[in-house]
Amino acid sequence: MTSHFPILGYDVGGTKIAASLMMSNGKVLATERFDNKDTDPAEMLARLADSGARMIAGAGFKNSDIRGIGVSTPGPADIPNGIMTRPPNNPKWRNVRINETLSNALGIEAIMENDANAGMLAEWFFGAGRGCRDVIYLTMSTGIGGGIIAAGHLIDGTGYYGGEIGHTVIDLNGPECGCGMHGCYEAFCGGRAVALRLQKELAGRPDHAIVKAAGGNVTDIDFMALETAVRQGDAYACRVWDEIMVRNAQGIGILINALNPEKIILGTIAWAAGDLFMEPLRKYLPRFCWQVSLDGCEITTSALRRDIGAYAGPAIVLNHLYEKGLYDPFVQS
């Protein structure tokens, strides 16, 4: 007999929803994806419940065999009550009682967590953070989200806003952030913020390397176009990239000194760019944190990469069971 057990998860994004059924050891049994553009929440939740039932039956289980449903959702959300309140990228999803709806439909307890924390849990249980007791995950994508494991437990905070690393102010005179403050780490290094900066600075310059990398349209400039121009050696692109890497080192250095983690795991932009990202980051980090703390911290990239959404929901369930004393990631394989 095996001690492993099945768990169900949903990763709710602005345009896509991933559903996954897997075993507690990370073995994926089934996955499905849904387009979430302009969908009616009630209709979509019915489809998600049907998907869950179908995957469970297809894997040879009964609903009662499933140890929980994990729901990864963008903030802001009412995490304890499982309500999606105001997700920024899908205006139809307002005050949606997703946990209650899925739980009632499937007869399984549902647990919600914000998507950055869920990414941290996914890496902790199934990816680069396994075995760590002090580890941080940064999403490094459109924005900069974060999840923190400290002394072997996820930091949610009093109002479930813990881990908002991207909104640490690193320059009082910095650009306005999407959150409304000025000089946030995300306002310097988030993919959307960088794209908007480049679009503004390169307006009227259709022959620039970054614009060409974006297909010739300034409004299509994104982080990938910047990376392409940097690899081509464009002077402006290299200067901007260097500025971004200094700010990344500043934000990450604050975390290293404040929390003294054994590992920091970096998401999308870091693993996509590889050494182009990691080498300057490591070069600048000693400016912003103590060497003794830096020496004790491994800086690495996501092990789950594009698949992290499939693992996020199930990882929420494992953490819920862990906090109730029903599962121990440090002793179970």
The answer to whether 139 and 133 have CB atoms below 8 angstroms apart is no
**What whole-number distance in Å separates Cα of residue 154 and Cα of residue 146?**
11
Q: How many CB atoms lie within 10 A of CB 132?
A: 19
pLDDT confidence of residue 210:
98
**What whole-number distance in Å separates Cα of residue 118 and Cα of residue 11?**
9
pLDDT category of residue 172 using cuts at 50, 70 and 90: very high
Average pLDDT value for residue range 83-100? 89
Length of the chain in residues, anyone?
333
Q: In this predicted structure, which of 35-39, 200-204, 218-222, 298-302 has the lowest mean pLDDT?
A: 35-39
Please give the model's pTM, rounded to 2 decimal places.
Answer: 0.95
Average pLDDT value for residue range 17-42? 93
Strands 6-12 and 69-73, by their bridges, are parallel
Rg (CA), the chain: 20
Helices (H), the chain: 41-58, 98-106, 115-126, 185-189, 191-201, 209-213, 223-231, 235-259, 268-273, 275-284, 291-295, 308-323
pLDDT confidence of residue 36:
86
pLDDT confidence of residue 32:
96
pLDDT category of residue 76 using cuts at 50, 70 and 90: confident
The answer to whether 148 and 154 have CB atoms below 8 angstroms apart is yes
Classified by CATH at the fold level, domain 6-122+306-323 comes out as Nucleotidyltransferase; domain 5 (3.30.420)
CA distances from 84 to 121, 124, 243, 328 (A): 20, 24, 36, 29
pLDDT category of residue 125 using cuts at 50, 70 and 90: very high
Beta strands in 100-173 (DSSP E): 110-114, 135-138, 146-150, 153-154
**3-class DSSP string for 261-327:** CCEEEECHHHHHHCHHHHHHHHHHHHHCCCHHHHHCCEEEECCCHHHHHHHHHHHHHHHHHHHCCCC
**What whole-number distance in Å separates Cα of residue 221 and Cα of residue 143?**
16
Query: Is the pLDDT assigned to residue 143 strictly greater than 70?
Result: yes
Average pLDDT value for residue range 4-17? 93
% pLDDT > 70, the chain: 99
Average pLDDT value for residue range 229-251? 98
Residue written as token pair 């290299």: 238
Mean residue pLDDT of the chain comes to: 95
How far, in whole angstroms, is CA 159 from its chain's centroid? 19
Average pLDDT value for residue range 271-294? 98
The answer to whether 212 and 224 have CB atoms below 8 angstroms apart is no
* 28-35 sheet: strands from edge to edge: 28-35, 16-23, 6-12, 69-73, 110-114
Average pLDDT value for residue range 45-67? 97
Q: Using CB atoms within 10 A of its CB, is residue 313 exposed (0-12), middle (13-18) or buried (19+)? A: buried
Query: Is the pLDDT assigned to residue 228 strictly greater than 50?
Result: yes
The answer to whether 156 and 175 have CB atoms below 8 angstroms apart is no
pLDDT confidence of residue 333:
47
pLDDT confidence of residue 332:
58
Delimit the domains of the chain by residue range.
6-122+306-323, 132-302
Asked if the domains at 6-122+306-323 and 132-302 fall in one CATH topology, the answer is yes
The answer to whether 72 and 9 have CB atoms below 8 angstroms apart is yes
Specify the CATH number for 132-302; select among 3.30.420.40, 3.30.1360.120, 2.40.70.10, 1.10.10.10.
3.30.420.40
pLDDT category of residue 39 using cuts at 50, 70 and 90: confident
Phi, psi of 169 (to 5 degrees): -80, 120
Query: Is the pLDDT assigned to residue 1 strictly greater than 60?
Result: no
